[in-house]
Amino acid sequence: MGQDFWTYFWVVGTFGTYIAIALWARASSTDDFYVAGHDVHPMVNGMATAADWMSAASFLSMAGLIAFLGYGGSVYLMGWTGGYVLLALLLAPFLREFGKFTVPDFVGDRYYSTAARLIAVVCALFVSFTYIAGQMKGVGVAFSGFLGVEFNTGIIVGMGIVFVYAVLGGMKGITYTQVAQYCVLIFAYTVPAIFISLIITGNPIPQLGFISNVKGEDISMLEKLNTVVSDLGFLEYTKTDKTMVDVFAITGALMFGTAGLPHVIIRFFTVSSAGAARVSAGWALVFIALLYTTAPAVASFARLNFIDTVNESTYIADGADYDAEAAAIVAAGGKPTPKWFKDWEKTGLLGVEDKNGDGVIQYRAGPENEVTKLDRDIFVMANPSIASLPAWVIGLVVAGGLAAALSTAAGLLMVISSSISHDLCRRTFFKDMSDKDELRVARASAAGAVILAGIMGMNTAKLGFVAQVVAFAFGLAAASLFPVIVLGIFWKRMNREGAIASMLTGLISTFSYIYYFKFVDTDPANWWFGVSPEGIGFVFMFLSLVVGVVVALMTAPPPQDVQDLVEDIRVPGTRTSHGIADEGMAPMPAE
């Protein structure tokens, strides 16, 4: 049985499972739709959190970036790993003890302010839509490769799938769907890595194969890769052309942005208590580590195999009989363009130009490079084909890439729909709205968000690769939401004026910098302090913190009951398990 059979087998089988789970766990109340009824087991929630966390940026893009940026791409690995630890230890248990559905809900009640809630909604929507644009690009990459269609067509197909299980199932359906998606994506990521590690180094453990000698040679895999890329004029794999300031800033933006990401934080509200949130966070870290420790190996294997199969290969034109042309080239002692390369050319994400007219592909640094289009987001999915692995493995990876992209897209859609239906409508503008009406609005909001996210995903080319687009979302979260969350938990003197000033400062400054240096002035020489748009959120996070503290000290302290609330949420068991105690929260003061 060929590759097409196995690809359809895995994709249809896994997607049938996801949709069946969504229908089985269909939300019947707002409690089910927003927080899965607060009764998800910590280990199950840890697995769902890992799937939510390991998006298309982790599964598809991170290894691709590391493959072609080498050491410079490791900032994504370090930032996202460290950020999850920060979130799990510093914020998650306290937010769960507070007991609210959403981050804007926390901000609105902690800062006793409708204006603060509305600004938090705006911040959450900016972050979520920026993040989901990257996920939808990942969906497009996965579906276009699977179906052999144009990139935008792939996104449209993915939109339809997300619509079914996110809009119908809500958080309850998404939680159990994400458990299945985690199993698929981790299996799809590690199995090819084991195969390729065995082929290149003879070591079945990718994490060890990454630092082992190449099979049959007295040289380590990384040393060989350094030699190969430097001979072609590229920077050595173990070096970076980023400044240390920018490396530090990007890592910091990814770390602290993690702690402000609404779609990850909301997962800790699906368990029964703050203690369960801690256990859930621990399980999630274990599940996340399985993929993150494998990514550097996947990246280095992909780069080595790509160069070996593509460079100096004889190009086979579109429309030609591939098998006949390839056989003739081999008979003449040449190396034909690999079949996987021709397959990915159809998507528009890979392309060549024969600049010297010799019919041979030159892949090297500088103007002689004939690989004119090379989307790095394709490489995890292309890796099994590059390494000539069995057809069932290739199909499995397609299913894994789709699971990674769609799991996070669904979590982000929940943030968007809950921000609109719960925080804007029920908590702000229509306070007498019934549960039934709120659920209708939530589903309509999710449906609208799917369409808008798809349109944004089709227009991510100017922003960069999936991981880079996602990095912008992390920077926005670090500068706008992280300061008010951490100060709201650990400093009872922080007030609504300080929170409003802090969020506005972080959101406006970070968004303006990203927009200016991605669309107006694209010369890196003009970056402030040498910090890229991906890392600027870390710089403006400190500005946001300082502005918030200064404004808070210059204005009246929060009411005493709010200060008591801050003390309470740091003591386990003093709040109710399903929200703020009715008698513990004073009415919101007028502004």
Q: How large is the average pLDDT for residues 359-366?
A: 89
163 neighbors 447 (Cβ within 8 angstroms) = yes
Report the distance separating Cα 157 and Cα 149, nearest Å.
10
pLDDT at 196 (0 to 100): 92
- Is residue 4 left, alpha or beta, with left meaning phi > 0 and alpha meaning psi from -120 to 50? alpha
| Local structure of 213: helix, strand or coil | strand
Report the distance separating Cα 537 and Cα 449, nearest Å.
25
The answer to whether position 365 is within a domain reads no
| Local structure of 439: helix, strand or coil | helix
| Local structure of 83: helix, strand or coil | helix
Report the distance separating Cα 440 and Cα 455, nearest Å.
23
pLDDT at 173 (0 to 100): 61
DSSP lists the bridge partners of residue 351 as: 373
Digit-coded pLDDT (tens) for 261-275: 666 666 777 777 767
Report the distance separating Cα 506 and Cα 548, nearest Å.
10
Q: Is the pLDDT of residue 453 over 80?
A: no
Digit-coded pLDDT (tens) for 555-576: 999 999 888 888 877 665 555 4
The answer to whether position 328 is within a domain reads no
Report the distance separating Cα 162 and Cα 201, nearest Å.
39
pLDDT category, 1, cuts 50, 70, 90? low
345 neighbors 395 (Cβ within 8 angstroms) = no
- DSSP H helices, 481-579, are 482-490, 496-515, 536-554, 560-568
Contact partners, residue 32, CB within 8 Å, separation at least 6: 170, 171, 172
333 neighbors 326 (Cβ within 8 angstroms) = no
Q: How large is the average pLDDT for residues 56-85?
A: 80
Give the CA count within 13 Å in the CB-facing half-sphere of 91. Answer: 29
Q: Is the pLDDT of residue 35 over 70?
A: no
| Local structure of 539: helix, strand or coil | helix
Residue type at 183 in one-letter notation: C
Q: How many domains does the chain have?
A: 1
The answer to whether position 233 is within a domain reads yes
Mean pLDDT of the chain: 80
Report the distance separating Cα 462 and Cα 518, nearest Å.
7
Report the distance separating Cα 409 and Cα 328, nearest Å.
46
In 3D space, the residue among 380, 385, 382 whose CA is nearest the CA of residue 466 turns out to be 380
Backbone φ and ψ for 314, nearest 5 degrees, come out as -80, 125
Contact partners, residue 499, CB within 8 Å, separation at least 6: 107, 110, 111, 113, 116, 484, 487, 488, 548, 552
pLDDT at 370 (0 to 100): 86
At 85, which CATH number?
1.20.1730.10
Report the distance separating Cα 443 and Cα 170, nearest Å.
8
The answer to whether position 170 is within a domain reads yes
pLDDT over 90, % of the chain? 17
Digit-coded pLDDT (tens) for 99-112: 665 677 788 888 98
Report the distance separating Cα 200 and Cα 214, nearest Å.
6
How would you class 590 by CB atoms within 10 Å of its CB: exposed for 0-12, middle for 13-18, buried for 19 or more? exposed
Lowest-pLDDT range, 290-294, 396-400, 480-484?
A: 396-400
Highest mean pLDDT among 92-96, 333-337, 420-424: 333-337
CA 550 centroid distance within chain:
34
- DSSP H helices, 336-423, are 339-345, 379-386, 391-418
Report the distance separating Cα 393 and Cα 386, nearest Å.
12
Give 488-512 as a 3 state SS string: HHHCCCCCHHHHHHHHHHHHHHHHH
pLDDT at 168 (0 to 100): 57
The answer to whether position 154 is within a domain reads yes
The answer to whether position 565 is within a domain reads yes
Contact partners, residue 255, CB within 8 Å, separation at least 6: 79, 80, 82, 83, 86, 478
Give the chain's radius of gyration (CA, Å).
Answer: 24
Report the distance separating Cα 374 and Cα 382, nearest Å.
12
DSSP of 236-270: PTT--SS-HHHHHHHHHHHHHHHTT-HHHHGGGGS
DSSP lists the bridge partners of residue 314 as: 336, 360
CA-to-CA dists, residue 388 to 202, 303, 578, angstroms? 16, 15, 52
Two tokens, residue 424: 């804007």
> Which pTM value belongs to this model?
0.76
The answer to whether position 567 is within a domain reads yes
What is the domain range of residue 157? 3-302+392-584
pLDDT at 429 (0 to 100): 74
Q: How large is the average pLDDT for residues 360-374?
A: 86
Helix axes 42-53, 274-292, angle to 10 degrees: 50
